[in-house]
Amino acid sequence: MVDTPKPEELIKNIDHTPPETPWEETVPDISPGNFCYPTKKKNLEYLSMPTTTVDEWSPADEEWPLPDNWQQIVHDGFKDLLGKYRSLKIFMDTCVRCGACADKCHFFIGTGDPKNMPVLRAELLRSVYRNDFTRVGKILKKIAGARPLTKEVIKEWFTYFYQCTECRRCSVYCPYGIDTAEVTMMARELLSLLGLNINWILEPAANCFRTGNHLGIQPHAFKEMIEFFCDDIEEITGKKIEPSFNRKGAEILFITPSGDAFADPGTYAMMGYIMLFEHIGLDYTLSTYASEGGNFGLFTSSEMMKRLNAKMYAEAKRLGVKWILGGECGHMWRVIHQYMDTMNGPVDFGEVPVNPITGTRFDNALSTRMVHITEFTADLIRHNKLKLDPGRNDMYKVTYHDSCNPARAMGLFDEPRHVLKAVCNQFYEMPENTIREQTFCCGSGSGLNTEEIMELRLRGGLPRANAVRYVHEKFGVNMLSCVCAIDRAALPPLMEYWVPEVDVCGVHELVGNALVMDGEIERTTNLRFEPLTDETEVEADV
Amino acid sequence: MNIFQQKREKWLEKWLEALFSTYPSESALFFRNTKDAFSNPVGATLKTGLTMLYDALAAPNFDPDAAKQALEPVVKLRSVQEFTPAKALGFIYELKTIMHSGAESPPAEIREVFSRIDMIMLMAFDLYMENKKIIYSLRASQARDNVRQLLIKKDLICELPEIDPELAK
C-alpha cells in the first residue's frame, strides 16, 4: 500500500512565504486576472496616438509589441515632461522615503504588495529618472538607486501604474506635498508613447472624442434616454417634464457623466436633477454633444485631457450660456478645478455663476464658470427654496462616501452632507479616518473599473467596504450615497461582495425622492419604483 | 485549565505569525502592528478571525457554526488576495504543526482538535468556492449589464412582461 502523506508533510511542500528578493529583482505577476486588457489599436489611431506594432496582444505575452526605438521614445518623452512640468522634477527629486505615504494606499492596505506603497510605486519611475537624468545616478548607478530602463521595467510600470487609482490619499500625508497621482499620470503618459494603454480607458476616450460621451451614445439616443426618464418621473409624480436640448440662449448648460444617462443607479440621480430643475424653474439646457462630464484624458495624457475638456467649453460658448452646472462626477471635477484653467482657460464665455433662484454668486467658480450640483442644491436648501419631505427616504439609513476627486481635489466636504441631512432623516458618518480628505477610494477609479481585474478591485476597495460594514453593523446603514459616476458603477459590486446588505445611490436620487414638487400627485413609490410604505404595513392594511 | 487554554497565547501567536508570513515581510509588519481597524482592515480581520477560530476549535464542545462564523471573514479576504487556493487556505493546517510537531502520536485531546481542523478545512474550501462564484458572477453581470440596460431602455430589446396572476386564471 502506498503511504499516504500526512497533512503536515503535504504542507511542507507548499511554500507560503513570498520571495525575499529586493524589489528591483521581484518580477510582477502578469497573468490573466492581474492586468487590464490593453487597448485596441483602432482607439489609439482614432485619437492620433502612438500605437503598438501589432493589433492584438496580451500583457501575458513574453514579448511585447514595442517599436525598435522604444527606449529612445521613453527617454525623450521623459525629458520632455521634465522640461514641461517643474512639479514632476520636484516630485522626482524631493522624496526622502520617510514612509508617511506607505500604508495609506488602499491597494497596499488590501493587497500587502510592497510595490503598491506609493513611495515604491513612484520609485519605479524615479529609479529610471536617476539613471537617465541625474549625474549621481549616471555615476553611482545602483548605489544611488538608479536602474536602466529595460523591457522588464516597462512591464512593471504597466502593472503598477494601472494598479493606482490616482485617488491621492497618499498625497494628503506627504510632508513635501508630492502628488503621487501625478507621478502615475506621468508614467501612464510615458507608457502611452509606446501605445501601452488599456481598453477601458481608451475606448471611452475615443468614443467621447467622436460622439461626445464614453459609451458612444448618439445625439438622438441620448435625447430619447432622457425622455424615457421623464416618462418615469411622470408616472411617479404626475408631472410632465420636457427638458430642452442644445437650446441656444439658455442661461445654464447642465453637464453630467453619461453614466447617469445609461447605468443604474446613476439614472435615478439623473431623474433627481431633472425634477429639481423643473421645480425651481431653472433656465437650463442639456447638450447632446457635450453629453459627458467625465474626462478619460486625465488617465491618458495631458493633451487628451485638454482636448476632451475643451469640448464642454466650446459647447457652452456655442450655445451662449452664462455658466455650466456640473453633475455628480468624480474626476471631471479634478480636471475642472486643477487643470482646466492652465489648459483651456481663462474661459472666454459667460459670466461668474450666480444662482438665479437665491442670488448667490459663486466666486469660487470665477475662472471656470462651473458650479458643482451639490454646491447649487445646498445653496437652495440653505435659502429654504425647496420643499422637502425627508420621510420619503425613511427606508434608507444613509452614509456618505466622499468621492476622492471632489473631496481631495476640490475640498467638497460639507455641501453634500448639508444636502443629505436635509433630504433624509437617518444619516450616519463612517469613521473619521475613512471620510472627507482621508476618504478611501472605491478601488476602481482612474479607468480601472473593468471586470477582468475584479479581484484586484475587490481587495483595493476593502478599506472602503470595511468602513461601510462598520456603520452597517453599528447603525443598520443600508444605503451608501456618493457623488461620482464611477463610484456608482464600482461600489455596487464592492458592496455585493463585502457588505451585500448595502445599496448605492447618488445624492440627487435622495433629493428627487424628498422633493415635493408643485402640483405633484401623492407619491406611492420612490424613484426606483419601490413602494414608499413598508411592505409589512401594506400587508397589514390588506 | 486544559492545554489549549494554557498555551492559547503562545499557539495563537505562532498561528498568526504563520499566516502573516504569507505576505511580504514589510507588509506583514504593517498588518501585524497597525492597531486601527480602519487603517488596517486586513490585519484586524485576520487577528479577530484567527482568535475566534482558535477558541472555537479548542472549546470543550465544538460548535461548527461558531467556527464557520469565525472562518468566513478570513476566507472572504484570502479569496480575493493574490494566492493560489492552497496558499490561501494552507494556514489552517499550520495549526496542527504548531500544536504538535514531534514524531510520536499526539495525545487524544489534540487528536480531537486535529479532526476539527480537518473539518474546518473542508468548510473553508466551500467558503472559498462560494466567494469565487460571487466574483465570477460580478464579472459576468458587469459585462452583461453594461449594454443590456441601454438596449432595454432604448426599446431595442424587450423583456417578457410580468403576467398578472388574475388574468392568467
Q: What is the pLDDT of residues A410-444, one digit of tens each?
A: 999 999 999 999 999 999 999 999 999 999 999 99
- State the nearest Cα–Cα gap between A432 and chain B, in angstroms: 9
The pLDDT tens digits of the residues spanning A192-208 come to: 999 999 999 999 999 99
Query: Does A451 contact B27 at a Cβ distance shorter than 8 Å?
Result: no
CATH 1.10.1060 placement within chain A: 23-197
Residue A358 confidence (pLDDT): 98
A8 and B96 in contact by Cβ < 8 A?
yes
The answer to whether A11 contacts B97, with C-beta atoms less than 8 Å apart, is yes
Residue A14's pLDDT band (cuts 50, 70, 90): low
Residue A1 is predicted with a pLDDT of 46
Which residue out of A31, A103, A430 would a mutagenesis test of the B interface target, given it has the greatest number of B Cβ atoms within 10 Å?
A103
User: What end-to-end distance do the CA atoms of chain B give, in Å?
Assistant: 69
Reading the block at residue A24, the C-alpha cell is 528591483
Q: What is d(CA B115, CA B110) in angstroms, rounded to the nearest whole number?
A: 9
CB contact under 8 A, B142 and A454: yes
Q: Which residues of chain A are within 8 Å of residue B26 when distances are taken between CB atoms?
A: 114, 117
Please give the span between the terminal C-alpha atoms of chain A, in angstroms, as a whole number. Answer: 71
Is residue B8 classed exposed, middle or buried when 0-12, 13-18 and 19+ CB atoms within 10 A define those classes? middle
Q: Which residue of B has its CA nearest to A221?
A: B154
Is B41 in the A-facing interface, judged by CB distances under 8 Å?
Answer: yes
By Cβ distance, the residue of A112, A224, A433 closest to B24 is A112
Cross-strand bridge partners of residue A398: A427, A479
- Overall average pLDDT of the A84-102 stretch: 94
Cβ contacts of A111 on chain B, cutoff 8 Å: 81-82
Torsion of CA A248, A251, A256, A260, to 10 degrees: -80
A412 sits in which H/E element: none
pLDDT of residue B104: 83
pLDDT at A27: 86
Provide the pLDDT for residue B1: 74
**pTM, full prediction:** 0.92
pLDDT digits (tens, 9 = 90+) for A99-126: 999 999 999 999 999 999 999 999 999 9
Mean of the pLDDT values across residues A516-534? 92
Query: Cell digits for A343?
Result: 489648459
User: How many CB pairs below 8 Å do chains A and B form together?
Assistant: 128
Q: For residue B168, what pLDDT is reported?
A: 63
Q: How much is the mean pLDDT over chain A?
A: 93
Q: What residues does A323 pair with on adjacent strands?
A: A252
Average of pLDDT values for A500-523? 97
Please, are residues A479 and A398 in contact by the beta-carbon 8 Å criterion?
A: yes
- Give Cβ neighbours of residue B80 (< 8 Å, ≥ 6 apart): A110, A455, A458, A459, A462, A497, B131, B135
Q: Across the interface, do B138 and A451 touch by the CB < 8 Å criterion?
A: yes
| DSSP assignment letter at A408 | I
Which residue numbers in chain B have pLDDT < 70?
146-159, 161-162, 167-169
Say which of A16, A114, A458 has its CB closest to residue B90: A16
Does the distance separating the beta carbons of A462 and B77 come in below 8 Å? yes
- Domain spanning A23-197, CATH class: mainly alpha
Find chain B residues with C-beta within 8 A of A29's C-beta.
82
| Sign of the alpha-carbon dihedral angle for A338, A340, A346, A352 | negative
CB contact under 8 A, B37 and A108: no
Measured between beta carbons, the chain B residues lying within 8 angstroms of A207 are none
Q: Which of B90, B94, B135 sits opposite A458 (nearest CB)?
A: B135
Judged by a CB distance cut-off of 8 A, whether residue B97 touches chain A is yes
d(CA A374, CA A104): 28
Residues B44 and A221: their CA atoms lie apart, in Å, by 49
User: Nearest to residue A481, comparing CAs of A502, A458, A454, A461?
Assistant: A502
